[in-house]
Structure formats: structure tokens, C-alpha cells
Amino acid sequence: MHGIITIFKKELSDHFSSYRFLLLFALIAMVSMVTVYMAGLTITKELEGVAKPKFVFLMLFTSSGVGFSLTQFVAFFGPLIGLILGFDTINREKNEGTLSKLLSQPIYRDAVINGKFLAGAAVIAIITVSIVLLISGLGLIMVGVIPGIEEVWRIFIYLIISIVYISFWLGAAILFSILFRSVATSALAALAVWIFFSFFVPLGANAVANALTPDAGESDPDAVIKRAQIGKALSLTSPMELYTDSTATIIDPMRRTTRSFIQVGMMEQLSMARFSGPLSLGQSVLVVLPYIISLIAVTAICFAISYIVFMRQEIRSL
């Protein structure tokens, strides 16, 4: 146990003293502030002389100020945070010759992966929490409404999901740092996977769904539903999709349209309920729980592969 804690502490202090962390934080803080500032301007303008809707504060996160909303920004660029923090975790130590020294100390090999992952996850948590606090403060000043208890809860859950989501990418990056000896190669591989899931899976899911249901048209509503289901199921292989869907329900309870509304099945009733008013917090959590579990599951898979590969690697080739 002392192994994990020691490695965790060292990695954490390494992160905090690195320019990488500083730049990352500055960049994210800047973009978030601008986004929320613009969103705040839009909201205050729209709400002038209108009765205040229920979740004004949450709108800071979901309305687009400069072409994209904060949640979209995190969904899209959050992975980069995880990848940047993790792509050279193991191979840098290999290349500098410190890994064999580390492993000749009385610690388990998995303590190295775990300690490093936890340190990265802690950094992710610190970044996201402080950004959300920062923009909440900014939002408070700009919009002038104090978030209700339910909104605070929703933001809290949103934070948790975001941390899990970005940590998944950290886990993937660590896996690449184990698989590839060269730091540049693992960075490229991580980038390729990010691009694949962000751009190709959504496009590909639709293409495949269209190909599988050629006769879908106005005359055949069943096929339309089927097409939507296939497209949805395929796109859910992307962690980004899992994340977008889950956070949308949590942070945007008023959402009138959802890409999944055509989907029938267990969510049908809940989907219908959306048309009559905001989903209650409990219902929202119920809807997103499977998504969160899936996110954790894919992270676990990354870890399992990391363990298997790392445990078996010959120390001489390290």
C-alpha cells in the first residue's frame, strides 16, 4: 500500500510543478471563462422582461456563447486533457531508465500504474472542480441568480461524470504509454483514437445504420425507428457519445428534443415525461446511471489490458 501512496504523491507533485499542467490549466480556464461569459451575456439578454425559467443557472453550462457550450467543449476537448496528462506515463520512465529502478523496490508492479493513474485523476478532478467553481462565480455575478439546491446537485453529478469521462481517456493514454516505447508514437496513437471516436464513430454509425435499413422512409415508420436505434447503439460505442448523452440529461433537464427520443424501450416513459416538464433529479440520475456504468466499464477494460501487458513485460525490454 505504501507503494501506491508514495508514487501517487510523487506524481502529483510532478504534475503540479510541470509546465504541461500550468499551460493546460491556463488554456482551459481561458476558454471556459470566455464561453461562460458569452453564454451569460446571451442569457441575460434573453431573460430581460421574461419570467425566469426554472434552471437559469444550468443554462450557463448549456447555452452556446461562442458557437459551442461549455458541456460541448468538455465533451470534445476533455479527452485531450486526459491524453496529455497520460501519454508518456510509463514509456518516459522506461526511456530514462528509472522504471527498472522503481520496480526493483519492494512494490507491486500494478502499484506503479495505479499510483500514476490516481495522481492523474486527482489532477483532472482539481482542474474540473476549480474551473466549475470559477465559472459559477462568474455566472453568479453576471446572471445574478443563486443556484438552487437541485441545480447544485446537478452540477455536482455533472462534475463526477466529467471526471470519470476524462479519467477514461487518461487510462487509455496510460495504456498507450505501456504499449509503445516511443513517447511520440504513443501520443500519436492516443490522438488517433480520440479522432476516431470524436469524428468517425458518429459519422460511421449513421452510415452503417443507413446501409442496414435501406427501405426506411416516410412509408415505413418501423424502419425509421430501427435505423435510429441502430445508429444510436453504434454511436454508443464512443465514450464521447456516452458522456454527451448522460450529461445532457443531467445538466439540461428542460431539453425538449433529444436525439434518442425516437428510441423506444425502457427509456420510453422517461422520454415522454420530458415533454411535460423537467425531469426530476431522481429520474435524471436513473437515466444516466447506465451511461456512467458503461464509462466506468470501458475504463476498467483499459486498466485490465494495461495490467496484463505491463505484468508480462520483460524488465530487460523496459
Partner 1 sequence: MEQKPIIETVELTKKYNGQAAVDNLSFTVHEGEIFGFLGPNGAGKTTTLLMLMGLTEPSSGKARVLGVDPSREPIRVKGMIGYLPENMGFYRDLNAWQTLRYIAELNGLLPGVADERIESALRMVGLIKEAEKKVGAYSRGMRQRLGIAEVLVKEPRVAFLDEPTLGLDPDTTNRMIGLIERLCKEKNMTVLLSSHFLHQVQKICHRVGIMISGQMVAQGHMKELAEEMPETKDGYSLEEIYMKYFREE
Ligand X SMILES: Nc1ncnc2c1ncn2[C@@H]1O[C@H](COP(=O)(O)OP(=O)(O)OP(=O)(O)O)[C@@H](O)[C@H]1O
Taking the least distance from each CB to ligand X, the nearer of 67 and 97 is: 97
Contact between 17 and ligand X (CB under 6 A)?
A: no
In the list partner 1, ligand X, none, the entry touching 317 (Cβ below 5 to 8 angstroms by class) is ligand X
Taking the least distance from each CB to partner 1, the nearer of 47 and 122 is: 122
**Rounded CA Rg of the chain:** 22
C-alpha cell at 73: 467543449
- Residue 31 CA to residue 301 CA, distance in Å, equals 32
C-alpha cell at 296: 466506468
C-alpha cell at 93: 520512465
- Footprint (CB under 8 A) of partner 1, residues 98-127: 98-108
281-312 and 149-179 helices, crossing angle to 10°:
20
> Under a CB-based contact definition with an 8 Å cutoff, are residues 260 and 252 in contact?
no
Taking the least distance from each CB to partner 1, the nearer of 109 and 226 is: 109
**H runs (alpha helix) in the chain:** 2-16, 19-46, 56-62, 70-86, 89-96, 98-103, 109-143, 149-179, 183-195, 201-212, 221-235, 239-251, 268-274, 281-312
Taking the least distance from each CB to partner 1, the nearer of 94 and 154 is: 94
Contact between 96 and ligand X (CB under 6 A)?
A: no
Q: How far is the CB of 105 from partner 1 (least distance, A)?
A: 4
In the list ligand X, partner 1, none, the entry touching 105 (Cβ below 5 to 8 angstroms by class) is partner 1
Contact between 316 and partner 1 (CB under 8 A)?
A: yes
> Under a CB-based contact definition with an 8 Å cutoff, are residues 20 and 81 in contact?
no
In the list ligand X, partner 1, none, the entry touching 3 (Cβ below 5 to 8 angstroms by class) is partner 1
- Residue 125 CA to residue 131 CA, distance in Å, equals 10
Taking the least distance from each CB to partner 1, the nearer of 218 and 314 is: 314
Contact between 317 and ligand X (CB under 6 A)?
A: yes
3-state class (DSSP) for residue 217: strand
- Footprint (CB under 6 A) of ligand X, residues 268-287: none
Contact between 97 and partner 1 (CB under 8 A)?
A: yes
Taking the least distance from each CB to ligand X, the nearer of 13 and 100 is: 100
Q: How far is the CB of 316 from ligand X (least distance, A)?
A: 3
Taking the least distance from each CB to partner 1, the nearer of 54 and 101 is: 101
- Residue 114 CA to residue 129 CA, distance in Å, equals 22
DSSP 8-state symbol, 264:
-
- Footprint (CB under 6 A) of ligand X, residues 286-315: 314
| CA angle, residues 2, 110, 296, in degrees to nearest 5 | 110
Q: How far is the CB of 94 from partner 1 (least distance, A)?
A: 9
- Residue 112 CA to residue 105 CA, distance in Å, equals 11
Contact between 316 and ligand X (CB under 6 A)?
A: yes
Contact between 48 and ligand X (CB under 6 A)?
A: no
Name the site residues for ligand X (rule: CB under 6 A): 314, 316-317
Name the site residues for partner 1 (rule: CB under 8 A): 2-3, 6-7, 9-10, 14, 17, 93, 96-108, 314-316
